[in-house]
């Protein structure tokens, strides 16, 4: 196995045992970027010189006995909303073409302190305002969408062009591209991972989290990221914990909620079949399946857009008025539409969110987690604008992709997307686990248990 093919956990074990050099690993990943990124376009900036310097420092520190833990010497990509001192943060937009961060974001600083090695900044849908990341191609089929807005991060991890990466998730933007590219994506509880130094899309919906090859990898990254930061007003004061799951696969006594509505409505038959097979596997591991009714489903997308659109427009108010021509048309139109939204609609969306949170809390007292498809369809073709369902219903691609992921953003509950197979075209399918606030340990334990029963996943095949 070549170093770039290794999971974070495997690479960390090899580095700690002095069987793999951080320099060797960084060189392997950088060579992989050179090989595949011209076709995939996952990266907006590659920091090769900085990465090699950091890898040499990691190698020297480890040789001197200053090992910092499992992220020490591990190559990572960061979504181009996340500030790193001296490196451009463009948000994949001409509006930020000349912007260089004066200081590290909290998450970049924490990963640097853990010894991770930055290899580059990954593409996003402009300012994270979309579900496709149009600059980037899917890692399994370059003629299909990568998913967004953290598409660059998901594609880089899926293709071996980063050992792990960070994304942001406002309506599904970690989990959607993770599902479409066959990797693991974790949206933590709202406020668990600080957002200071991360460009905002919608302050009350934004989350930062890891995209990785395995569930155990996601747990390792979350352990480094989580913890209070007073510079983020939403940051929780929850004590830091070690999120690494145990090795066992026994889920006896765990109550798994299976939705009877919403999450399996207008879902591709192959996606539904794969997810239901995975649910059956959880039952075989000892979990008890419980049917649940998802509340207030008719209001979900209206609430998501009612919160996100005015908050995004408020963030961009100055540049929207001074340099509107620098935005891509799709993003500019969304931002301008936010100026027309009445304040009453925003307040009604806030009230709806409060009711939804209360109802989800009630359901999650009855079950330990909920399982569902991450997205209702696999990756569509790059020029495809709509999906037609079996009953003739036509749905926009972005609306379809956000429909199953947005509830976790509205309510703030954690959600983990795990690969559960491929469709007949070889495109990945994802299952999401949704849990109680601060229930990441349970989600990671269940995801890891499922993963242990499956064949080892391979890197994406597109290039």
Q: Is 73 left (phi over 0), alpha (psi -120 to 50) or beta?
A: left
User: Do 238 and 438 touch, CB atoms closer than 8 A?
Assistant: yes
Residue 324 has what DSSP assignment? G
First to last CA, the chain: 17
Catalytic residue selected from 105, 112, 173, 398? 173
The β-bridge partners of 417 are: 185, 432
Distance CA 112, CA 123 (A): 20
Q: Count CB neighbours of 337 within 10 A.
A: 14
Residue 202 CB contacts under 8 Å (≥ 6 apart), including other chains: 170, 307, 308, 311, 312, 315
φ/ψ (deg, to 5) at 440: -60, -40
Q: Which of 181, 170, 257 is nearest to 212 (CA)?
A: 181
Q: Which of 108, 122, 226, 117 is nearest to 177 (CA)?
A: 122
> Which two three-digit tokens encode residue 266?
């207008």
Catalytic residue selected from 7, 28, 112, 149? 149
Per DSSP (E only), the strands in 246-383 are: 255-259, 288-292, 369-373
Catalytic residue selected from 7, 9, 28, 79? 79
User: Do 40 and 69 touch, CB atoms closer than 8 A?
Assistant: no
Q: Which of 40, 71, 42 is nearest to 54 (CA)?
A: 71
The β-bridge partners of 78 are: 121, 166
Catalytic site residue 149?
A: yes
Per DSSP (E only), the strands in 260-349 are: 288-292
SS3 content of the chain, % helix, strand, coil (to 5): 40, 15, 40
Q: Count CB neighbours of 233 within 10 A.
A: 10
Active site residues: 79, 149, 173
């Amino acid at each position: 196995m070549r170093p770039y093919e290794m999971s974070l956990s495997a690479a960390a074990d090899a580095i700690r045992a002095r069987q793999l050099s951080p320099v060797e690993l960084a060189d392997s990943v950088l060579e992989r970027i050179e090989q595949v990124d011209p076709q995939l376009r996952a990266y907006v900036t590659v920091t090769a010189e900085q990465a090699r310097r950091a890898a040499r420092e990691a190698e020297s520190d480890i040789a001197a006995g200053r090992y910092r833990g499992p992220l020490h010497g591990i190559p990572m990509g960061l979504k181009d909303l996340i500030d790193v001192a001296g490196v451009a943060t463009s948000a994949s937009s001409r509006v930020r073409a000349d912007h260089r961060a004066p200081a590290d974001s909290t998450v970049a600083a924490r990963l640097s302190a853990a010894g991770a090695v930055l290899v580059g900044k990954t593409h996003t849908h402009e300012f994270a305002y979309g579900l496709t990341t149009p600059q980037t191609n899917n890692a399994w089929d370059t003629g299909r969408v990568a998913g967004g807005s953290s598409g660059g991060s998901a594609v880089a991890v899926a293709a071996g062009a980063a050992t792990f990466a960070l994304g942001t998730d406002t309506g599904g933007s970690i989990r959607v591209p993770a599902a479409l590219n066959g990797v693991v994506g974790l949206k933590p509880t709202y406020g668990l991972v600080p957002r200071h130094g991360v460009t905002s899309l919608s302050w009350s919906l934004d989350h930062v989290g890891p995209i990785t090859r395995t569930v155990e990898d996601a747990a390792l990254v979350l352990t480094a990221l989580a913890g209070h930061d007073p510079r983020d007003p939403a940051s929780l004061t929850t004590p830091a914990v070690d999120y690494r799951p145990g090795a066992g696969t026994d889920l006896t006594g765990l109550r798994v909620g299976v939705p009877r509505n919403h999450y399996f409505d207008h879902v591709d038959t192959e996606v539904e079949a794969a997810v239901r097979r995975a649910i059956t596997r959880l039952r075989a591991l000892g979990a008890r399946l419980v049917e649940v009714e998802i509340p207030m489903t008719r209001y979900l997308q209206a609430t998501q857009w009612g919160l996100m659109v005015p908050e995004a427009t408020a963030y961009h108010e100055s540049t929207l008025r001074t340099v509107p021509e620098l935005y891509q048309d799709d993003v500019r139109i969304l931002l301008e539409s936010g100026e027309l939204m009445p304040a009453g609609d925003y307040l009604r969306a806030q009230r709806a969110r409060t009711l939804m949170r209360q109802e989800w809390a009630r359901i999650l007292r009855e079950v330990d987690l909920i399982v569902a498809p991450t997205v209702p369809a696999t990756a569509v073709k790059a020029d495809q604008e709509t999906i037609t369902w079996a009953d003739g219903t036509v749905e926009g691609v972005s609306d379809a992709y956000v429909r199953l992921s947005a509830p976790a953003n509205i309510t703030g509950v954690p959600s983990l997307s795990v690969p559960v197979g491929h469709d007949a075209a070889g495109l990945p399918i994802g299952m999401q686990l949704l849990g109680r606030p601060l229930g990441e340990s349970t989600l990671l334990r269940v995801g890891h248990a499922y993963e242990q029963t499956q064949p080892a996943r391979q890197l994406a095949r597109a290039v």
